[in-house]
Structure 1
Amino acid sequence: MPHHDVVVIGGGQAGLSISWHLTARGIDHVVLERDTIAHEWRDTRWDNFTLVTPNWQCALPGYRYSGPEPHGFMRRDEVYAWVRHYADTFDPPLREHVAVTSVTVGSDGGFDIETTSGPLHSDQVVVAVGGYHTPTVPRFAERLPRSIRQLHSAEYRSAADLPDGAVLVVGTGQSGAQIAEDLHLEGRKVHLAVGSAPRVARFYRGRDCVAWLQDMGHYDIPIEDQPGGLGKRENTNHYVTGRDGGRDIDLRQFAVEGMALYGRMVDVADGTAYFEPSLGKDLDAADAVAESIKDSIDAHIARTGIEAPAEPRYRPVWRPESEVTDIDLAASGITSVVWSVGFRTDYRWLRVGVFDGEGHPCHNRGVTTTPGLYFLGLPWLHTWGSGRFAAIARDAEHLADRITVTACATAAA
């Protein structure tokens, strides 16, 4: 069967980044993409999506953002075009519309790979398919009335695509909070089930908080040195937005403007949605995280003697007078529900024993205990920046060094 020294699975920014290094080093490889380059940016983001990290932080190996707004935030189509153009800069050995259906360890120690276009063999494999594979919804979603349209955040595109009426958004991670904002700005009545996600201010003391955190080295701290260690991989990202030049997402302000907020959604029965009385606690916890980040920035400014303008701290503009724990969906005019409660991994095609009891890959900075098998582009692969543009280049170079050593040893043998 056809053989390559390295097979890279996934043609997004992670797969292209490792391909750039392998191409530069003259290592035989192929990149397999089940759809088209960077299609996730085009196919699973809503129309008004923007990055939450500034454009200056967008850097891949040999390639940086060079547009007119380094402190702005690329929109969905701009990100898609930016990643696609990256491939044009070095012409990777890419095969689109080729899905991998099985990877097993071969009898010679390499890997046997089954694809929709036939079998392959390789000495090494890089899995660069991200960590968000299958959208999840709670089991009680099946008890929603049939008249209500349900969709996952990965399917949401715009308010105009939804039936007339109010919308219930469930979850306040980055996607849920931003989709609630999108619907709110479009004039829709929004009911929001708030989760335990933290938040962060967009700007503080004259700069984007991302810029402060970058200078403070937060994106470079290995996960092993983080509070909670490997448990960080389960944490929800802070909600904030890059829309209209970037701003905070303040759920309390949304409430002042008419958005209905509830605690975590826990059940549906006979047309009634039920919520935990957790709203006040979770809003306070999100604010506390944002303020703790400001504390760290203040300490950094004082320690380094940087001149930065003073800024008053956030004061809550709204608090729930009482916790609403159930609503009649029909009486509330709710015709749509957007589930923004995450994804689960799906590595059933990767038939190699490198997973924990919950199906997550076990690795050290992307290197597994199976010789020649690597992961790239996962959240918290090594640092906070690993799952975003901020640190993919560094992670890819680390794996490329390991791959090169193994390839040279194989060739010598």
Structure 2
Amino acid sequence: MNENRIAHYPVVIVGGGQAGLSTSYHLTAAGIDHLVLEKRTAMHAWESQRWDNFCLVTPNWQCDLPGHPYAGPDPDGFMKKDEILAYLKAFRAKVDPPIREGVTVRRVSRRAEGGFLVATSAGDVSADAVVVASGGYHEPIVPRMAERLPPTLVQLHSAEYRNAGRLPDGAVLVVGSGQSGAQIAEDLHLAGRKVFLAVGNAPRCARFYRGRDVVTWLADMGYYDMPVEQHPLREGVRDNTNHYVTGRDGGRDIDLRRFATEGMELFGVLRDFDGTNLLFDTHLAQALDDADRTYNGINATIDKHIAQKGLTAPPPSVYTPVWQPERERPALELAASGITAIIWCIGFRPDFRWLDAPVFNGAGHPQHRRGVTAQEGVYFIGLPWLHTWGSGRFGSVGRDAAHIVAHIAERRAGADAALADRDTAA
């Protein structure tokens, strides 16, 4: 294709999720022409990569997409999957983005004359700026050892799990205890399935404490407005595993120890399969203790806040373990266990190979400051802790989008002013 004839846009947004559409909202408000490219359909991950009983783990009042705050009857509740989809559908209708769905971006490269060439499955376009809104969860992680497991064993990634009824009869091994792993293990457990859970290093937190949702306390304490530069871990917080908790049935703690008293079998991190046995680390007790330490630590910070502000609240408490592993089990014979399915809940890895720009560190992660990179015209939006805890969530992605669009508008104004000065000089 003749590059001189291709369509040109001031901004191209790659990704049609809540981050991309939030950016589109602010670009439209600023009067900046743009195009959104989405390889599937807008918001597709919420429908295609969530299980049937999925619900938010943050209260509905935190849903505050641009021009579209939660307006339902239960602000302190937790939207279920169908409610989330309805909320997002209404947001898309409000934004009415200039979007092309079913279009894959194959490569973004810099042009010698400035700007970018965006090669797609539907042809090429050019842009002055590119906003990467595709998130950081691209390739499901499944270990190579999975290739050596018996072919009769059903293996799914968490993104493929829907409900217990779609799995074969028998026990299920859930690998990973982050938000998805803990909640899927609970979903199977409540469905009456025998569950084996390989526990990782994910922390946990209380759902409610001293009369309020813990999220509400932390919001009052300013935690969700803390920029990444002020966090004790700085950018290292971006690598942290999310705390496990649930909004299911009105919200509650997830206590893996309690599950163990009810028949769920807990193991350490799954390391290998020797042809007969699944092999695990023997650090289960430490992982449970560490998770509880975080749980109690968060509650202690709330205690301190209440005391400092002189607030009236129910009395404090400290979680004490309801179960302890009597011994660490390093192996589980697969055939004797009755396991017929494995759900891999160990996350995703990013894939930005299509973006040809010097904006990545040695680990392949984008380098930026609140989404603005050192490469002029390249931006990121919707990544965890892009700026604050809520950057990858409904609560704060709109603020990040507004910041990026303001930067784009300022850059365009500067370019227009420079061009006017040249014309005047001529």
AA aligned to 1:108 is E
Matched residue, 1:87: 92
**How much does 1:247 deviate?**
0.3
User: Which residue of 124, 130, 134 maps to 1:125?
Assistant: 130
Residues 266-298 of structure 1 deviation map (CA, whole Å, 9 limit, x = unaligned): 111113101011100000000000100001000
Distance in 1 (CA, whole Å) between partners of 2:357 and 2:376 is 11
Number of residues of Structure 1 aligned to a counterpart in Structure 2: 413
**How much does 1:312 deviate?**
2.7
Distance in 1 (CA, whole Å) between partners of 2:281 and 2:101 is 46
Q: Does 1:172 align with 2:177?
A: yes
3-state DSSP of counterpart to 2:10: strand
Q: Does 1:50 align with 2:50?
A: no
Mapped contact 2:14–2:134 kept (Cα < 8 A): yes
Matched residue, 2:322: 317
Distance in 2 (CA, whole Å) between partners of 1:409 and 1:9 is 24
Residues 86-128 of structure 1 deviation map (CA, whole Å, 9 limit, x = unaligned): 1211322111111111100111220100111110001011000
Superposition pairs of residues 29-108 of structure 1, within 5 angstroms: 29-108=34-113
Distance in 1 (CA, whole Å) between partners of 2:356 and 2:312 is 55
Q: Does 1:383 align with 2:388?
A: yes
**How much does 1:368 deviate?**
0.6
TM-score normalised by the chain length of structure 1: 0.99
User: Which residue of 222, 225, 238 maps to 2:230?
Assistant: 225
Q: Does 1:142 align with 2:147?
A: yes
Matched residue, 1:357: 362
AA aligned to 1:324 is R
Q: Does 1:258 align with 2:275?
A: no
Distance in 1 (CA, whole Å) between partners of 2:98 and 2:414 is 23
AA aligned to 2:103 is V
**How much does 1:163 deviate?**
0.7
Distance in 1 (CA, whole Å) between partners of 2:239 and 2:287 is 17
AA aligned to 1:321 is E
Distance in 1 (CA, whole Å) between partners of 2:80 and 2:242 is 19
- Aligned-residue CA RMSD in angstroms? 0.9
AA aligned to 1:410 is A
Q: Does 1:371 align with 2:388?
A: no
User: Which residue of 27, 30, 36 maps to 1:22?
Assistant: 27
AA aligned to 1:361 is P
Superposition pairs of residues 156-305 of structure 1, within 5 angstroms: 156-305=161-310
Mapped contact 1:8–1:127 kept (Cα < 8 A): yes
Distance in 1 (CA, whole Å) between partners of 2:416 and 2:11 is 13
Distance in 2 (CA, whole Å) between partners of 1:130 and 1:26 is 25
Distance in 2 (CA, whole Å) between partners of 1:71 and 1:258 is 32
**How much does 1:409 deviate?**
2.4
Distance in 2 (CA, whole Å) between partners of 1:172 and 1:273 is 17
Mapped contact 1:110–1:122 kept (Cα < 8 A): yes
Residues 334-389 of structure 1 deviation map (CA, whole Å, 9 limit, x = unaligned): 00010111110101111111111111111111001110110000001011111111
Matched residue, 1:399: 404
Matched residue, 2:12: 7
Mapped contact 1:18–1:400 kept (Cα < 8 A): yes
Mapped contact 1:39–1:80 kept (Cα < 8 A): no
**How much does 1:70 deviate?**
0.6
3-state DSSP of counterpart to 2:200: coil
Distance in 2 (CA, whole Å) between partners of 1:407 and 1:107 is 19
Mapped contact 2:179–2:242 kept (Cα < 8 A): yes
Distance in 1 (CA, whole Å) between partners of 2:255 and 2:192 is 17
3-state DSSP of counterpart to 1:331: helix
Q: Does 1:342 align with 2:342?
A: no
Matched residue, 1:154: 159
Mapped contact 1:145–1:271 kept (Cα < 8 A): no
Mapped contact 2:164–2:188 kept (Cα < 8 A): yes
**How much does 1:331 deviate?**
0.4
Uncovered stretches (5+) of structure 1, i.e. residues with no partner: none
Distance in 2 (CA, whole Å) between partners of 1:238 and 1:22 is 34
AA aligned to 1:26 is G
Distance in 1 (CA, whole Å) between partners of 2:332 and 2:233 is 37
Distance in 1 (CA, whole Å) between partners of 2:93 and 2:415 is 30
Distance in 1 (CA, whole Å) between partners of 2:178 and 2:395 is 20
Provide runs of 4+ in structure 1 moved above 4 Å: none
**How much does 1:311 deviate?**
3.9
Q: State the identity as a percent.
A: 59
AA aligned to 1:353 is P
AA aligned to 2:396 is A
Moved more, 373-382 or 71-80: 71-80
Mapped contact 2:21–2:95 kept (Cα < 8 A): no
Residues 146-186 of structure 1 deviation map (CA, whole Å, 9 limit, x = unaligned): 11111110111110111100000000000000000000000
**How much does 1:129 deviate?**
0.6
